[in-house]
Amino acid sequence: MERQATSEIINNAWVEAIRKDFPILHTKVYGKNLVYLDNAATSQKPQVVIDRLVQYYTTQNSNIHRGVHYLAGEATDAYESARMTIARHLNAPDHREIIFTRGATEGLNLIASSWGGQNLKPNDEVLITGMEHHANMVPWQIICEKTGAKLKYIPVFQNGTLDLSQLTSLITDRTKIISAVWISNSIGTINPIAEIIAAGKANNIPVVVDACQAAPHYAIDVQELDADFLVFSGHKVFAPTGIGVLWAKAEHLNQMPPYQSGGDMIDAVYYDRSTYADIPNKFEAGTPHIAGTVALATAMDYVENLGRAKLQQYEQQLTEYVWEGLSQIPEIQILGPQHERIPAFSMVIDGVHPLDLGTFLDLQGIAVRTGNHCTQPLLNHLGVNATARASFAFYNTFAEVDYLVETLTKTISKLKR
Amino acid sequence: MAENTLIDTRKQELISEFDMIGEDWTERYNYIIELGAELPPFPEPFRDDAHKVKGCQSSVWLHASQIDNKIELKGDSDALIVKGLVALVLRIYNQQKPMDVVQADLSWMEQLGLQQHLSPTRKNGLDAMIRQIRLYATAFQAQNQLNEPN
């Protein structure tokens, strides 16, 4: 069945032009065109980002800070100017509030270990949601176990949205920090993060935002959001793997002890003690991923130049189109809500194991992810072990959606028991 | 060099069956699924955590016993392709002497193209399955040696 795309923004030439920027999208797998629908796990990289890595290593590579030679200056300038660029993209009031990490996982571990280790006492409470990625759950479990604090959860309705009616009763005078996922990686739900931040503020409790799935789809303004901490990973926003951002209000960062120690984070070292550098260096021990950092700045510039508003409008229409397409297949149940979601669709299929489905989709060139998507407690709560997740980016086309729906229909009828 | 065992014969059978299907992996997976569908039903009392093979993305259950110095295997999975892989493994190792199972080489997986084609996760799952069977076989073999008169 042919479904008609309605708006003029869904213009093939526009998407095709963007697709030309991403060389890997033109890969053939088993002789078929690659249909890459695993963007929630990692995004593909535009040529400008790949070029920036090459350019850095070709013309600028050196270790940063403290070097007196020419290249050390080049590399330091590139690294620190990337920090300024990223601060501008996030509208951070002070570029020293941008800490570079290996990724969101390291950012969350840093917060739990450093802030949590300093501030949590026995019987204090940490409040997270029942929808967290393991990376925003396990570090809190560990620090709670160490400090004697308790971990509490904002419950999740069966429709995959948060039950915020319990928020005020879950916040007690023992609640010391709230950490919440903005958008679910496994089921795509957009949480009312402003409401959670407001509840934290009203009670003088700092709020951490896991923005991993928000950053690829929306512009982030940390001042407008007014949380205390925010993390995301570079590789999900069209930048290399191994680089991520932790933004935090300077008032917190200045108070917190270092997370790792070694080079770059010290002020002075004596045999019997050390004093630490100011932020951001205090939290960037060792030689960082310099090339990844400068390429992250390039990736964020690239997306901004494409036009956030237009990308968002396109993705919104793509999301609705996928929902309609998948809804035509009666065996498919999509986890999470129809509206207030990103185009990441976790499918449960009556009588078909996600692993079998994923394998046969792969043979048709379609890359989806199967499993629990690092959210075992959430999937258990929703009564499933594993799903097949198709997640889209702005470079995915309506034709790819049609191909997915068609291939799913054929594959399910073949595999259904 | 050990003499040709029944295991070798069964491996050869499988390899020539796969060769007949050709290089199209959709067809190969279809065949693997068919093999899985022919597995005898798994005894329900053994469908528990104790008989689950760890390290598989899907659930795999294995049960082994020894009858007349031969290993008797039963297996199942909740995913069709994996169930087919269970059937493949069982076809090679079932009703063999524990010592032959322990000593059997694993080149058949490579010869079937499984090593190259399976995703790393699934390969780990298959390895875990075979490791589990060899563990059972080793245990049976040790038991048999204990029971042998001196």
Q: Using alpha carbons, select from A339, A337, A357, A346 the residue that is nearest to residue A384.
A: A346
H or E element at residue A207: strand A207-210
Provide the residue count of chain A. Answer: 417
| Architecture of the domain spanning A50-304 | 3-Layer(aba) Sandwich (3.40)
**Residue B150 confidence (pLDDT):** 54
Q: Using alpha carbons, select from A325, A251, A220 the residue that is nearest to residue A97.
A: A251
CA angle A104–A110–A116, rounded 5-degree value: 125
Average pLDDT for residues A318-346, to the nearest whole number? 97
Of A30, A353, A371, the CB nearest to B80: A353
CA dihedral A327, A388, B26, B113 (to 10 degrees): 180
Verify whether the Cβ–Cβ distance B81 to A417 is below 8 Å.
no
- Give the number of A-B residue pairs with CB atoms closer than 8 Å: 30
Report d(CA A127, CA A207) in Å as an integer. 9
**Structural domain boundaries of chain A?**
12-46+307-415, 50-304
**Structural domain boundaries of chain B?**
6-144
Nearest residue in B to A355, CA atom: B79
Average pLDDT for residues A329-342, to the nearest whole number? 97
Q: Hey, is the C-beta of A351 within 8 angstroms of any chain B C-beta?
A: no
Catalytic residue among A279, A349, A374, A405: A374
Q: Hey, is the C-beta of A376 within 8 angstroms of any chain B C-beta?
A: no
Q: Which of residues 53-92 of B touch A (CB under 8 A)?
A: 57-59, 78-82
**Residue A2 confidence (pLDDT):** 47
Verify whether the Cβ–Cβ distance B57 to A417 is below 8 Å.
no
**Residue A1 confidence (pLDDT):** 41
pLDDT digit string (tens) for chain B, length 150 residues: 455 678 888 888 888 888 888 888 899 999 999 999 999 999 999 999 999 987 667 889 999 999 999 999 999 999 999 999 999 999 989 999 999 888 887 777 777 877 777 777 777 788 888 899 999 999 999 888 888 765
Average pLDDT for residues A378-400, to the nearest whole number? 96
List pLDDT tens digits, range A86-135: 999 999 999 999 999 999 999 999 999 999 999 999 999 999 999 999 99
Q: Hey, is the C-beta of A363 within 8 angstroms of any chain B C-beta?
A: yes
Contact between A145 and A119 (Cβ < 8 Å): no
Contact between A371 and A385 (Cβ < 8 Å): no
**Residue A406 confidence (pLDDT):** 98
Q: How confident is the model at residue A11 (pLDDT cuts 50, 70, 90)?
A: low
**Residue B149 confidence (pLDDT):** 64
Average pLDDT for residues A410-417, to the nearest whole number? 90
Verify whether the Cβ–Cβ distance B58 to A355 is below 8 Å.
yes
For domain A12-46+307-415, give the CATH superfamily.
Answer: Aspartate Aminotransferase, domain 1 (3.90.1150.10)
CATH for B6-144 is 3.90.1010.10
Min Cα–Cα distance to chain A from B104, Å = 29
List pLDDT tens digits, range A30-84: 999 999 999 999 999 999 999 999 999 999 999 998 788 999 999 999 999 999 9
The DSSP code sequence of B55-107 is T-SS-EEEEEEEETTEEEEEEEESSHHHHHHHHHHHHHHTT--HHHHHH---H
pLDDT of residue A375 exceeding 50, the answer is yes
Going by the DSSP 8-state scheme, the letter that residue A349 receives in this structure is E
- The reply to whether B56 belongs to the active site is yes
Q: Hey, is the C-beta of A384 within 8 angstroms of any chain B C-beta?
A: no
Q: Which of B26, B34, B77, B83 to mutate to test the interface with A (most CBs of A within 10 A)?
A: B26
Q: How confident is the model at residue A228 (pLDDT cuts 50, 70, 90)?
A: very high
